[in-house]
Structure 1
Amino acid sequence: MAKLDEDKKGTKTSKKCSKTSENAQKQKKYRVDIRMPHGKRISKVFYRKYDADQFRAKMLVERQRIIDTGVNIDGEITFKKFAEMWLREHVIGRKAEKTIRGYKSNFKMYILPVLGEVKLKHINYHHAKKLESYVLKQGKKNRTVNKVMMVLKTVINEAVKLDYLVRSPIRGFKELKEDPSQLEYWSKEEIKQFIDKNQNNPLLDFYQMTLNTGLRLGEICGLCWDRVDFNGGFISINRSLTREGLRNTTKTHKGRYIPMNDKVRAILENRLKTRNSQFVFSTPSGEALPYSHINQRHFKKAQRVAGLSKIIRFHDLRHTFASHFMMNGGNLYTLQKLLGHSDIKTTMIYAHLDKDFMIEAANVVSF
């Protein structure tokens, strides 16, 4: 008898569940269908009129905001999608190719593996610390970490400018302390040894020109005769040769004038007699010197020929010019103009000089 009651009870329950299911299917639905100003259609179904009204009101406010401000903010956009959009619409074509490659490399290697799928609106200080730790775990130095974090800050600041964020959530994020970099430059004896042992080197004029002007590699490779003024005694620097070709600008996007000393004038006058190209320094066929080959293929080989124990980079010839300029009585503000630095802080690295000069300076004050 007890078993029969259980069966009847179970049957009644089953009928009740079936009835509830049928009622749910017959339940009234409320659809919200709104066309946004940018053309996107938003459609959603609710089972409560209250929920539908709330959603409709929210979408109408958002639609009006877009109409009033002209800004369409995708609140669900991920960091990866925003970074891709920013590169495509606000960086490519406006920044140098080297800068763009740097952004892409930092995104691919460090930033996107950590933050790529995080919604832009959710990024906070914790995410920045997580990224910092990730780069450190790759065995990178503090300088590299700071560069990666600067790229992240740049993207976040751009999101603020474009109204995707109200304010930067990582504003005030501190950089790691970097080890002081060693400034490499040649002594007068090393310069003389290099020049004496490379008298037959076809690029000797190129190297001496750099030592006497402090020009960047791209600036001297891109130097053309129309920028050399023998009457005025100066060189106009407003072009640069890169891996992508000749650009009518410099690294800092500012032109400058470099006065010729006697050695520079002699080099230029001699080369003018045998010029075969628009470029001051060119290949035998008149093409620009191969920008990417100078340091590894030619300059290092010339140093080994000279028997130098200290092998430096080509860019260190610029440091050599600047260091000797200061040691011979030059001042930082003039040097800033000659090197084309935008900020005097960059030029300040030459304020410390070689040991012999510092010893002499120490005797200026003696009680």
Structure 2
Amino acid sequence: MAIKKVENGYEVSFRVNGRGSREHRKVFPTKAECERFQRYTIAQFETQADVKPWLEKPKDMRCLSELVELWDDTHGHFLRDSKRRKSKILMIVNELGNPAGSSLTRLEYTRWRTQRSKEGKSPKTLNNDLGYMSSMFNTLIKAEEIHYPNPLADIDNVRVPERELSYLTHDQITELLDETKRGDNKHVYLITKISLSTGARWGEAEGLTVQRVRNNQVSFTDTKSGKNRSVPITPELFEEIHEHAKLTRSNNIFTGSITSFRRALARTTIELPKGQAAHVLRHTFASHFMMNGGNILTLQKVLGHSDIKMTMRYSHLSPDFLEEATRLNPLSNIK
């Protein structure tokens, strides 16, 4: 290295890799700045020299089934539905032909999804498939198990038509409760009443224990959203549940009763859209809650919705909404 004083400061000139390498020449106001520039330039060169392209990792050719096992070890086995989720992902992997994860393309996946749609799979199922696969890639990237981008990241969900939300009228509620009393299952009537009174899913009501019915409240745990919630009930229903628990002589108040409910529903005159058997009880609670002037945020908490958008499906049943629709429509002021 050579540093010499020049007319407007100090000039430094040096080569970082000996004769034949590039010469660095620069002028600074002080000699100290020349020295700092030289040290910085040499450090940059040495850092770059440590990068050896011929030693870079080869392309990751692990097949999707191997990635599923990695995902299961890293994250999957902690999920509540771990076995079902893993089985579902492996089914998708098998149908895709189990390619290397790094070789999977958006086009390849969307063509497979189109074929699934032609076979009659619903948009919701197709979106669940995409969600499971994309989540697997994201988890592995976060865990630094793979070092390439999520190949499915830019694929959009299939648009899902909004489902009809049926609810029972007062007459239908009476008819259904009468029918559930007539069956040979001693639990189905009371589970139905709890679902209608609290908006609980059938499995949540069916899984109640004695400890979860206290102080005129029922508490639901291990829910779909993963959050516990408590809902008040009338003193009459509270007593009815505890009297029933005495008969069962068990900490679990009820046993599996969904089949008996479906049989009771089939004996009524009630007709429902496909897939809305016991779930109509939850819709009925929410619909009557809003029609009776309930608050949408309170309903969200009672139902345990993590996203208010789910609860807003019932907002059109609010009396205020209905009143404004009739009062503010364009024909309202025409005589």
TM-score normalized with structure 2 length? 0.72
C-alpha change, 1:362 and 1:136, in structure 2 (3 Å) is: same
C-alpha change, 1:310 and 1:167, in structure 2 (3 Å) is: closer
Answering whether residue 141 of structure 2 is matched by residue 177 of structure 1, we say: no
Identify which of 200, 214, 218 aligns with 1:215: 200
Query: 1:326 touches 1:332 (CA, 8 Å); kept in 2?
Result: yes
Identify which of 207, 215, 232 aligns with 1:259: 232
Cα distance, 1:334 vs structure 2: 0.7
3-state SS of 2:166 partner: coil
Summarize deviations over 1:228-272 as a string: whole Å, max 9, x none: 223xx322222xxxxxxxxxx322221111111244224224335
The AA in structure 1 aligned to 2:152 is I
Quick one: distance in 2 between partners of 1:77 and 1:269?
A: 57
Cα distance, 1:327 vs structure 2: 1.2
Match of 2:316 in 1: 352
Match of 2:326 in 1: 363
C-alpha change, 1:152 and 1:266, in structure 2 (3 Å) is: same
Match of 1:119 in 2: 100
Summarize deviations over 1:301-346 as a string: whole Å, max 9, x none: 1123334344841122111111111111112211111111111122
Match of 2:116 in 1: 135
Query: 1:326 touches 1:351 (CA, 8 Å); kept in 2?
Result: yes
Quick one: distance in 2 between partners of 1:81 and 1:168?
A: 16
Answering whether residue 284 of structure 2 is matched by residue 302 of structure 1, we say: no
Match of 1:318 in 2: 282
How many pairs are equivalent? Answer: 273
Instruction: Calculate percent identity across the aligned residue pairs.
Output: 27
Q: Which segments of 5 or more consecutive residues in structure 2 lack a partner in the other structure?
A: 1-51
3-state SS of 1:179 partner: coil
The AA in structure 1 aligned to 2:217 is F
C-alpha change, 1:115 and 1:130, in structure 2 (3 Å) is: farther
The AA in structure 2 aligned to 1:183 is L
Quick one: distance in 1 between partners of 2:271 and 2:107?
A: 47
Query: 1:223 touches 1:237 (CA, 8 Å); kept in 2?
Result: yes
The AA in structure 1 aligned to 2:165 is L
Quick one: distance in 2 between partners of 1:128 and 1:150?
A: 13
Q: Which segments of 5 or more consecutive residues in structure 1 lack a partner in the other structure?
A: 1-56, 63-72, 239-248, 282-288
Quick one: distance in 1 between partners of 2:314 and 2:161?
A: 17
Match of 2:303 in 1: 339
Query: 1:327 touches 1:357 (CA, 8 Å); kept in 2?
Result: no
Query: 2:68 touches 2:89 (CA, 8 Å); kept in 1?
Result: no
Query: 1:121 touches 1:165 (CA, 8 Å); kept in 2?
Result: no
Cα distance, 1:185 vs structure 2: 1.9
Query: 1:79 touches 1:115 (CA, 8 Å); kept in 2?
Result: no
Identify which of 114, 135, 139 aligns with 1:154: 135
